[in-house]
A and B are shown apart, each in its own frame.
Chain A
Amino acid sequence: AASVSSKFDLKTYWTTLIREIDQKLDEAITVQYPQQIYEAMRYSVLAKGAKRAPPVMCVAACELFGGHRLAAYPTACALEMVHAASLIHDDLPCMDDDPSRRGQPSNHTKFGVDMAILAGDALFPLGFRHIVSHTPTNLVPETQLLRVVAEIARAVGSTGMAAGQFLDLEGGPNGVDFVQEKKFGEMGQCSAVCGALLAGASDDEIERLRKYGRAVGILYQVVDDILEAKLETEEKEGENKKGKKSYVSIYGVEKAMEVAEELRAEAKKELDCLEKYGEKVLPLYSFVDYAADRGFSFK
């Protein structure tokens, strides 16, 4: 399947979507009274250099099943909003205590802890509201919108990403598999499933996309950790941070690379069953390879 993705120009597809999503997000959060909160929300959601992987996966999944891109944009934006909310709260001093994210001061470093908590609290509901009030009703039936809202809410909730963050903080005997699956698999899973839901995919197809998205989400993170570990060994500063349980830190780079290959195969296996959609499945294939190989860079 590796040859399949060479037929598709993911970089152009992706960078085009980033521009679109960035613009939609910019329009979705306009500054009004009280200004401070909107500035804090915009600071994290519109952070420069964001790859918008969840929105891109959502759009690609929607297009795979013949859905219109316009049907997916509001949900794609919502995914970024709730994701940003989770990250803002994860960075807080009482959580991972990260003073910076992506080379920029964290939200609480810039705006204060109280503001960061409230910015997160505001972004979760804004995401749900944005889906309902911006999805073109002629493109998506209301039943599907309700399912999308429930899906995203579940993914960020106490059995999803919040569970992953909680167990990661708690440390203890909880398996790295579970933590990685919850912290990173949920977002990928939810993004792919939402795209499929918006396009009216069948339940069987939705389940395939669920497994696909989960595998890609974890794969992406495992490869990030591997790359970071390699960099750190070179620089000899592999310090153990609080709340960072990864395959690499538990099993080492080599085993993590095996896990990555398994995840790549797992994701592609699901797509192999969707071959009736022909070329439309190519973006999702190339997404897997990008997650594993990082075949190009943005800018």
Chain B
Amino acid sequence: EVQDHLVFPKFNFEEYMAAKANKVNVALDDAVPLQNPIKIHEAMRYSLLAGGKRVRPILCLASCELVGGDDSMAVPMACAVEMIHTMSLIHDDLPCMDNDDFRRGKPTNHKAFGEDTAVLAGDALLSLAFEHAAANTRSANQHGVLQAIVELASAVGSEGLVAGQIVDLCSEGKELSLDELEYIHVHKTSKLLEAAVVCGAIVGGGDGVAVERLRKYARCIGLLFQVVDDILDVTKSSEELGKTAGKDLVAGKATYPRLMGLERAEEFARELVSKAVGELSYFDPLRVAPLYHLAGYIASRQN
């Protein structure tokens, strides 16, 4: 229903994603040159350039574009978001955390380089994110760049990702309520997606209203991301997913389908999409296509 208000020009989403991902990959490659000490930079590059769909950095670029900014303003911020995302995965996979040996079909960072290097490579990516964003963002608005840095820092720190990890770690083996589950997902997943979108809008020169609309949009798709993940875990085979299906179920982990039933979870996902898309109605319909399609993409992805 909401979609009916919006009239889209022809938009090739796949082409858009491929072009932006390519731009991000080139920028990431440039941002982490292979320098001394070689091995630590190899480890950083190993995880950072391991492929991936680059959803977060693309959201950042799309959001910047939507408020009238140019890609070049947001590319360093987009890279920073991906560095932080990668860093969180490296540390997450460590033996003392989730103890994962493989990620995206490749040995995890500590398997390939050793635990000590993996910890340092993660730390180095974290600080590089801030260095890169602070030193290389060419935005007319320096105040905005600083604000974006605060967003990014909040998203990853003890009020963001780390808070989610802690609550997740501490609730292992416990029965979670829906609120607790949402807390974990909002902090582990949504906050960084939100920062990606908000930072893009800020450096792109968006005003306060635009930034807050986009923040709400991002919150919905952040949560959506996790709800869809949970649904896929029970509805798809391992082969279709490219990872072990039913893993959450076997581990007795709290998921949306488990807490609210599959049907209700699917309904919740639909609600989130339409809420996200609703926030976009504030913007020029001619510019809104990328974020509109990104919401759909997150909702309907199959792995």
Using CB atoms and an 8 Å cutoff, list the residues of chain A in contact with chain B.
33-34, 36-38, 41, 82, 85-86, 89, 92, 94-95, 112-115, 117-118, 120-122, 124-126, 128-129, 132-133, 142-143, 145-147, 149-150, 152-154, 156-159, 162-163, 165-167, 169-170, 174
Contact A114 B123 (CB under 8 A): no
For residue A194, give the distance in angstroms from its CB to the closest CB of chain B: 13
Contact B162 A118 (CB under 8 A): yes
For residue B181, give the distance in angstroms from its CB to the closest CB of chain A: 15
Given known A-B contacts A133-B150, A149-B149, A125 and B41 have beta carbons under 8 A apart: no
| Cβ contact of A95, chosen from B40, B119, B146, cutoff 8 A | B119
Contact B124 A146 (CB under 8 A): no
Contacts of A165 in B (CB 8 A): 120
Contact B146 A142 (CB under 8 A): yes
| Cβ contact of B146, chosen from A86, A146, A156, cutoff 8 A | A146
B166 CB-CB contact with A under 8 Å:
yes
Contacts of B41 in A (CB 8 A): 158
For residue B276, give the distance in angstroms from its CB to the closest CB of chain A: 26
For residue B172, give the distance in angstroms from its CB to the closest CB of chain A: 11
Residues of chain B from 18 to 41 with CB closer than 8 A to chain A in the complex:
35-37, 39-41
Contacts of A162 in B (CB 8 A): 40, 120, 123-124, 127
Q: How far is the CA of A252 from the CA of B146 in the complex (A)?
A: 47
Interface residues on chain B, number (Cβ under 8 Å): 52
Contact B158 A145 (CB under 8 A): no
- Closest A residue to B35 by beta carbon equals A159
Contact B153 A117 (CB under 8 A): no
Given known A-B contacts A146-B134, A156-B127, A163-B37, A121 and B162 have beta carbons under 8 A apart: yes
Contact A37 B163 (CB under 8 A): yes
Question: Can you list 14 A-B pairs with a CB-CB distance of less than 8 A?
Answer: A34-B163, A34-B170, A94-B116, A113-B96, A114-B97, A124-B126, A126-B153, A133-B150, A149-B134, A158-B37, A158-B121, A158-B128, A162-B123, A166-B39
Q: How far is the CA of A149 from the CA of B127 in the complex (A)?
A: 10
- Closest A residue to B141 by beta carbon equals A142
Contact A34 B167 (CB under 8 A): yes
- Closest A residue to B131 by beta carbon equals A153
Using CB atoms and an 8 Å cutoff, list the residues of chain B in contact with chain A.
35-37, 39-41, 44, 87-88, 91, 94, 96-97, 114-117, 119-124, 126-131, 134-135, 142-143, 145-147, 149-150, 152-154, 156-158, 161-163, 165-167, 169-170
Contact A117 B97 (CB under 8 A): yes
For residue A217, give the distance in angstroms from its CB to the closest CB of chain B: 18
For residue A45, give the distance in angstroms from its CB to the closest CB of chain B: 12
- Closest B residue to A137 by beta carbon equals B143
| Cβ contact of B91, chosen from A117, A149, A154, cutoff 8 A | A117
Contacts of B130 in A (CB 8 A): 124-125, 128, 149-150, 153
Contact A143 B142 (CB under 8 A): yes
Q: How far is the CA of A149 from the CA of B126 in the complex (A)?
A: 13
Given known A-B contacts A37-B166, A163-B40, A129 and B158 have beta carbons under 8 A apart: no
Contacts of A150 in B (CB 8 A): 130-131, 134-135
- Closest B residue to A143 by beta carbon equals B142
Contacts of A114 in B (CB 8 A): 96-97, 169
Contacts of A129 in B (CB 8 A): 149-150, 153-154, 157
Contacts of B122 in A (CB 8 A): 121
Contacts of B134 in A (CB 8 A): 146-147, 149-150, 153
Given known A-B contacts A121-B126, A128-B149, A158 and B40 have beta carbons under 8 A apart: yes
Contacts of A145 in B (CB 8 A): 146
Contacts of B123 in A (CB 8 A): 85-86, 89, 120-121, 124, 156, 162
- Closest A residue to B164 by beta carbon equals A34
Q: How far is the CA of A282 from the CA of B41 in the complex (A)?
A: 41
For residue B186, give the distance in angstroms from its CB to the closest CB of chain A: 13
For residue A33, give the distance in angstroms from its CB to the closest CB of chain B: 8
